[in-house]
Amino acid sequence: MQHLNIALVQTNLIWENPEENRVLISKKIAAIPKHTDVVVLPEMFTTGFTMNPIKWAETMNGDTVQWMRKLASEKNIAIAGSIIVFENEAYYNRFLFVHPSGEINFYDKRHLFTLAGEHKVYTQGNKKVIVNYKEWKICLMVCYDLRFPVWSRNKENYDVLLYVANWPKTRIAAWDTLLKARAIENMCYAVGVNRVATDANNLVYNGHSAVYNSLGEEMLCFLEGENAIKTIALQKEHLMKTREKLGFLKDRDRFTL
């Protein structure tokens, strides 16, 4: 598939209210253009960035996963975003990628945000995940992972680096800079979806969701604080031609974590 049409949902999140957030997001997804392939939601899209997983965690058979499966099937799209999951006596900030078929790939956030105490209540993931979807290879990452380039290093020749986040306005310059850098160094499309508005901790989020191509050129961006959906077509031919012409990935250093 030469084009991958991705819809970025930059939205407010209702604090610790999964049901209302599902209703809100369902209305937004109902308005997406036809022929969309993937819809991307922010980090912890059912609750906001809460440190109260005991109350709000769900299972992989819970309401939100069933909702994602149903919506993906009805709209014939993949739906991606992170929620709180309880599994094997542990809580995870889990990035779900739900296929139209109902198949689910998931990635557990590796870099837990110690500044907010995320490491005290959630369990760290230890597996990098590459999703194969419509002949595209998509690498899943969550928020704070953006600061750690070794973890996202493109050893697998993936095509898209996909970040979902609750990244506050006070540090948004880092988000803008690092998202662009990840696209350049990995010679891939970098897609970042962040939330907007103010949460219960009085943290302000101004979005800056964006898409960069493999040369670090901005292809799509949201206005400051914009609550909206935007769709963009990623082009496999452009990506492959750029990699073949420049060949930067061939000169990677060889090392492992």
- Model confidence pLDDT, tens digit, residues 79-130: 999 999 999 999 999 999 999 999 999 999 999 999 999 999 999 999 999 9
Residues acting as catalytic residues: 43, 109, 143
Q: How far is CA 202 from CA 4, 48, 142, 199, 223, in A?
A: 36, 12, 21, 5, 21
Contact 84, 56 (CB under 8 A): yes
Nearest to 25 by CA among 15, 36, 14: 14
Q: How far is CA 251 from CA 113, 142, 191, 247, in A?
A: 32, 27, 24, 8
Q: Is the pLDDT of residue 255 over 80?
A: no
Q: Is the pLDDT of residue 165 over 80?
A: yes
**Predicted confidence band of residue 174 (pLDDT cuts 50, 70, 90):** very high
Mean pLDDT on 176-203: 98
Contact 43, 207 (CB under 8 A): no
Q: What is the pLDDT of residue 1?
A: 78
Q: Is the pLDDT of residue 53 over 80?
A: yes
* pLDDT tens string 200-253: 999 999 999 999 999 999 999 999 999 999 999 999 999 999 999 999 999 988
Q: What is the pLDDT of residue 253?
A: 87
Q: For the structural domain made of 3-251, what CATH number should be given? A: 3.60.110.10
The pTM for the full model equals 0.97
**Predicted confidence band of residue 256 (pLDDT cuts 50, 70, 90):** confident
Signed CA dihedral, 32, 37, 43, 46: sign only: positive
63 in the Ramachandran plot: left (φ > 0), alpha (ψ -120 to 50) or beta? alpha
Kindly state the tokens that stand for 117: 């105490």
Q: Quick count: other Cβ atoms within 10 Å of Cβ 29?
A: 20
Q: What is the pLDDT of residue 202?
A: 97
* pLDDT tens string 6-42: 999 999 999 999 999 999 999 999 999 889 999 999 9
Q: What is the pLDDT of residue 248?
A: 95
Kindly state the tokens that stand for 171: 């540090």
Q: Is the pLDDT of residue 168 over 80?
A: yes
- Based on its alpha-carbon atoms, the radius of gyration of the chain, rounded to whole angstroms, reads 17
Q: How far is CA 127 from CA 41, 47, 216, 257, in A?
A: 21, 24, 27, 11
